[in-house]
């Protein structure tokens, strides 16, 4: 008669990654509001969409890893993220095309003596005949993953070797995400002001990393543990800084400083990823 699984086993192997999947999807969804706002305004403005390209590479890598390891939790944590990243990147490309179209139409309008129809048509031809900067980034990242996955699939290697190649590659992809939390930590220390830390995002990312750490330790998967361990450490550092330094906002045009409590303020979103490597952090500035 087989023994029933212990409570610790159920919590570590099933409950923790299930919560991680939910939190991962929420962190992937963080930039949606910012993109919708940008679409309404017709401009990306200061919105940094580069992390969305790396989000696509990140989710592709982890989905491939889930196929190799037959891990459904890793799959369901990243499948929604891939779909969301495609939508985010498509929106960013459309806005870049639109911004370029408006700029060239205005320029051509001046050179064509105010003929709007000719100006718009010429601008459309020019814009659609070349790639946007964001399009190039996405294509480059996808191309790298196509090469990695094609090579891994075609060469005669075992499961462990495939796991190693894809695991290392997806962790390298995550290096680009770690710039965001490190930049935030450096800013808070330099200014002694925690206004750049969004409390709920910080709490969600730290919790997300914690649950994936628990799961990765339970299944002894260090490719999942290492990035999440770093994400958890960065999260704890931000929690400590949030407690040590008050939130304050300098009123433009004056020398006065207004202290804030809670999470008031306007937000700017930037991705960091922090679930077994998917680091996502939405900052409100």
Distances (CA, A) of 6 to 3, 11, 14, 190, 237: 9, 9, 12, 47, 33
**CA trace torsion 48, 54, 56, 60 (10° rounding):** -170
Specify the pLDDT at position 65.
Answer: 97
pLDDT band at 194 (very low <50, low <70, confident <90, very high): confident
Residue 51 in any domain: the answer is yes
pLDDT band at 129 (very low <50, low <70, confident <90, very high): low
> What is the average per-residue pLDDT within 222-237?
92
* Other Cβ atoms closer than 10 A to 131: 14
Do 162 and 239 belong to one domain? no
Specify the pLDDT at position 1.
Answer: 47
Give the number of domains in the chain: 2
Do 133 and 182 belong to one domain? no
Residues facing residue 161 across a β-bridge: none
- On the question of pLDDT at 278 being above 50, the answer is no
Domain residue limits at 151? 31-171
Point out the domain boundary residue: 140, 171, 202: 171
Residue 2 in any domain: the answer is no
> What is the average per-residue pLDDT within 178-198?
80
Specify the pLDDT at position 142.
Answer: 96
> What is the average per-residue pLDDT within 243-264?
56
Residue 12 in any domain: the answer is no
Q: Taking phi first (over 0 means left), then psi (-120 to 50 degrees means alpha), and beta for anything else, what does residue 21 get?
A: alpha
Point out the domain boundary residue: 155, 171, 187: 171
């Amino acid at each position: 008669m087989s023994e029933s699984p212990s409570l610790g086993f159920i919590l570590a192997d099933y409950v923790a990654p299930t919560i991680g999947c939910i939190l991962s999807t929420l962190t992937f969804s963080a930039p949606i509001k910012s993109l919708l706002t940008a679409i309404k305004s017709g401009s990306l403005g200061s919105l940094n969409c580069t992390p969305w390209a790396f989000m696509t590479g990140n989710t592709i890598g982890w989905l491939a890893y889930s196929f190799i390891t037959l891990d459904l939790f890793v799959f369901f944590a990243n499948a929604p993220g891939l779909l969301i990243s495609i939508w985010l990147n498509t929106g960013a490309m459309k806005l870049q095309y639109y911004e370029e179209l408006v700029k060239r139409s205005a320029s051509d309008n001046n050179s064509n003596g105010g003929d709007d129809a000719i100006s718009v048509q010429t601008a459309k031809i020019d814009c659609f005949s070349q790639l946007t900067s964001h399009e190039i980034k996405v294509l480059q990242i996808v191309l790298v993953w196509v090469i990695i996955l094609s090579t891994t699939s075609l060469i005669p290697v075992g499961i462990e070797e495939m796991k190693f190649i894809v695991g290392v590659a997806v962790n390298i992809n995550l290096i680009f995400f770690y710039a965001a939390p490190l930049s935030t930590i450096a800013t808070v220390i330099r200014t002694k002001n925690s206004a750049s830390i969004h409390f709920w995002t910080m709490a969600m990312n730290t919790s997300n990393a914690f649950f994936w750490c628990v799961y990765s330790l339970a299944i002894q998967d260090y490719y999942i543990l290492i990035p999440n361990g770093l994400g958890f450490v960065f999260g704890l550092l931000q929690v400590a800084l949030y407690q040590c330094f008050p939130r304050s906002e300098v009123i433009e045009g004056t020398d006065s400083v207004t202290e804030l409590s809670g999470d008031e303020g306007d937000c700017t979103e930037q991705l960091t990823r922090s679930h077994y490597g998917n680091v996502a952090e939405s900052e409100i500035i």
